[in-house]
Amino acid sequence: MNKLLTAIMREFTPKVSKEINGTIDKKLEELPTYLDDVFRNGTKILHPDIPLKYVGWERMSPKEEIKHMTTSRYVHDMADSNIYMVKFKFNINGNEVMEKPIYLPYADLGNIVRFSGTRYVMSYILSDRSLSPSLAGLFLKLNISKLNFTTTHKVIIKNNEKITVDIKNSKILLLNIIDKLGNPITPTFLYLLCRYGMSYFDKNMKVFLDEDGSLTKELELEYDVYTTQYHAYGGKPRRHMNVAYRPHCLCIAVPKGTGNIDLISAIIYSLDMLPDLAKDVVKVFGNIEKEKEVFIIMLSRILYKESYSMYRMLEDTKQHLNSLEGYLDLLTKNNLKYVDIHVNDFYELLYELVTRYQDLVVNFKDYHNNLNNKYMDVNSYIGFDVTYPYNKIMLRVNRRGPTIASKEITKNFAELSPKKIFSLVKSSGQNLALSVLDNSSDLIYVKATSIQEDYIGPILVVILILVIILTAGNPV
């Protein structure tokens, strides 16, 4: 064929996306590198003085695999599985090396993968880039967690008139503690107040207590004044179970036509649940460091209610806030850039989500119709049963702080079992990247050889005894 014609055809022929990068077998070869990135970023959330560092990974030789099998305590599956073993290495106290061997899958021709004698077809998944909006809210997929952001309608007072506001909220910390405070939502903006303070967002804002409404009348010509509905109209929040509830009279005034309604509604709602903190909020206004302290107390009481001592709740809340520093790893950060979210840390991401929430939810169809917001993925789905427990381990270790002992670190890593990858097919839900091709129970030989090795000896003995009994006195 003419070279010029060939060049023209190549120029105008659509190219296959580079992200697909060949067949599944080639993509699975990148799985150790993907896990390496997750493990390396996971240790970045740790306190600098915690004696745990990630070193790297290497493929184990067949001899090393056999040695591991003969020395480990867990039961091994004798059926055919497309797996090989990789060890991830960690350094404890600067000199003690801890190795975590983990089985990883590989694919045969036709994207076929075997687990315990059963064949599966592995496929790419057209996935959202970390963020997935819908009419119900926003779904954020992180390597360390999965978060849902929704809104709750609440009534507050603006210039002596009732208005309905949407309070963005999410259960970033999964707790289910219910006492006389009830089960309040956790405003997302409350996390930002713990991080930056209140006056950081609006220096023209005024915060004051107005028991009789006189201060509000003085400001109403130049300011929009917001307050709680319970002070003017009585009652208490529906979720609040304290019969001796007394509403606060805190007011927030902003110049006409200005003000961050997400900030204002988060403060008023939080004080509706904890009205005794209203005086403290007014007292510290203008001192950012003091503001942070008050809002951390507020967050701790909303999260933990009165289930622990104040000291313990504050310590746990501070550790929780510190752990959020590692929620946004480099992989997620790069994914979010594709959807025009450029942030440096998790708190900046929270602010972006709160600010753009309405636009993302209303235009969710346009978002999903834009293929720039999608990518072909398989490794995050296949490796999820490894990355999820690993990131939970990092959070637990970080929560213990610099005083954690080497033995406790090692004990925490026991959750990261070498056979975690088998959760792909043994969990209650089917992994999206896998489809069953056949059933091992249909094949007598495979079914027999898939019996766990610890039971093979006793079963063979029973079979041999039965054969002897049945053939006794009956010459062959």
pLDDT at 21 over 80: no
Q: How far apart are CA 18 and CA 16, in angstroms?
A: 6
CA distances in angstroms from 466 to 52, 363, 450, 474, listed in the order given: 56, 70, 22, 14
**Tokens found for residue 128:** 């959202």
pLDDT at 305 over 90: no
Q: What is the pLDDT of residues 216-257, one digit of tens each?
A: 888 988 999 999 999 888 888 887 777 788 999 999 999 998
Q: What is the pLDDT of residues 344-392, one digit of tens each?
A: 999 999 999 999 999 999 999 999 888 888 888 888 889 988 988 898 8
Binned at pLDDT 50, 70 and 90, residue 444 comes out as very low
Residue 158 · residue 348 · CB < 8 Å: no
Residues with Cβ within 8 Å of 314's Cβ and at least 6 positions away in sequence, in order, are 296, 297, 300
Q: Return the amino acid letter for 442.
A: D
Spans of all domains in the chain: 24-124+378-438, 128-132+328-376, 146-296
**Range in 128-137, 346-355, 458-467 the model is least confident about:** 458-467
The residues that bridge with 169 in the sheet, in sequence order, are 150, 187
Q: In which residue are the tokens 């709680």 written?
A: 228
Binned at pLDDT 50, 70 and 90, residue 206 comes out as very high
Higher pLDDT, 183 or 35: 35
pLDDT of residue 453: 42
Q: What angle do CA 324, 373, 171 make, to 5 degrees?
A: 30
Residue 225 · residue 279 · CB < 8 Å: no
pLDDT of residue 304: 86
Short-list 302, 303, 280, CA closest to 292 = 280
pLDDT of residue 309: 85
Q: Is the dihedral of CA 7, 11, 13, 15 positive or negative?
A: positive
In degrees and rounded to multiples of 5, residue 127 shows phi and psi of -115, 150
The residues that bridge with 137 in the sheet, in sequence order, are 134
Question: 3-state DSSP call for residue 37?
Answer: helix
Q: What is the mean pLDDT of residues 26-52?
A: 87
Share of the chain above pLDDT 90, in %: 39
Alpha-helical (H) ranges within 133-277 are 188-196, 214-219, 229-233, 261-273
pLDDT of residue 460: 58
Residue 44 · residue 327 · CB < 8 Å: no
Question: 3-state DSSP call for residue 22?
Answer: coil
pLDDT at 75 over 80: no
Query: Average pLDDT, whole number, for the chain?
Result: 84
pLDDT of residue 256: 92
Q: What is the mean pLDDT of residues 459-473?
A: 64
CA distances in angstroms from 210 to 255, 258, 327, listed in the order given: 18, 21, 40
Q: How far apart are CA 387 and CA 145, in angstroms?
A: 10
Binned at pLDDT 50, 70 and 90, residue 2 comes out as confident
